[in-house]
Amino acid sequence: MIDSLLALVPLYGLFLIAGVVSVSCLAIPLPSSMLVMASGGFAAAGDLVLWQVIAVAFLGFAMGDQVAFGIARWGGPKLLDRLKASPSRAGLIARAEALVDRWGGAAVIGARTVVSPMGPWTSYIGGAAGLRWMTFTAAAVLGAAIWSTGYALLGYFFADQISIIASMIVNGAGVILAGAVALGTGWWLWRSWAAYRRQARGA
């Protein structure tokens, strides 16, 4: 898919970047990270302007986050229940729920930078769970700024090694995601054990 999108960059340029990034924030599987990185490479070659790539990626991310948050705020927990009906999504949603429940706004930042596969789901969960809009927006904007700047600069400075960097990011994200799952599971077990101890003492 990324090859098809890259072929469209000369035709649609910045509009394509903004659109793909926005849509990917709704949990639609599009290679937005790789597109922004490749666009940074186009900027290094003089075909695009770096600050414009960063700006439209940031705006696309910020707008997509707001749409996802608004949809979930309107749909509420019932929307999450419907999304969880898909086995391929249920695991990611459950892990994102644990992160948002534990870390709140910090989880929103982390899901846009360190564990980006959870990014769209933290938007949905934040909206459905009643996370304050200002808390969500402040965290999402910071995360979007870090994400868009980081990927565009990677492509700009390492334009001839984009495929290698992309592979490293994918592998690294898997390790980080596994670590986040382990931490979330450990925290849940600890809470369950603490609740059991309180009940035992009360009895």
- How much is the pLDDT for 104? 67
Report how far residue 49's alpha carbon sits from residue 55's, in angstroms, rounded to the nearest whole number: 10
The answer to whether the pTM exceeds 0.85 is no
Q: Euclidean distance between the first and final Cα of the chain, in Å?
A: 59
The 10 Å Cβ neighbour count of residue 52 is: 15
pLDDT in tens, 42-57: 888 888 899 999 999 9
Percent of the chain beyond pLDDT 90? 15
- Name residue 149's amino acid: T
- How much is the pLDDT for 2? 66
Q: Give whole-number Cα distances, 123 to 47, 89, 153, 164, in Å.
A: 33, 14, 25, 30
Q: Average pLDDT, whole number, for the chain?
A: 75
Place of tokens 């391929």: 88
CA angle, 181 then 133 then 124, to 5°: 40
Retrieve residue 58's tokens.
């940031």
Report how far residue 121's alpha carbon sits from residue 28's, in angstroms, rounded to the nearest whole number: 11
DSSP state of 25: T
Taking alpha carbons only, the member of 33, 55, 53, 56 closest to residue 45 is 53
Q: Would you say residue 96 has pLDDT above 80?
A: no
- How much is the pLDDT for 44? 85
- How much is the pLDDT for 173? 43
Helices 133-157, 32-44: inter-axial angle, 10-degree rounding? 50
Report how far residue 72's alpha carbon sits from residue 74's, in angstroms, rounded to the nearest whole number: 5
Retrieve residue 9's tokens.
């960059």
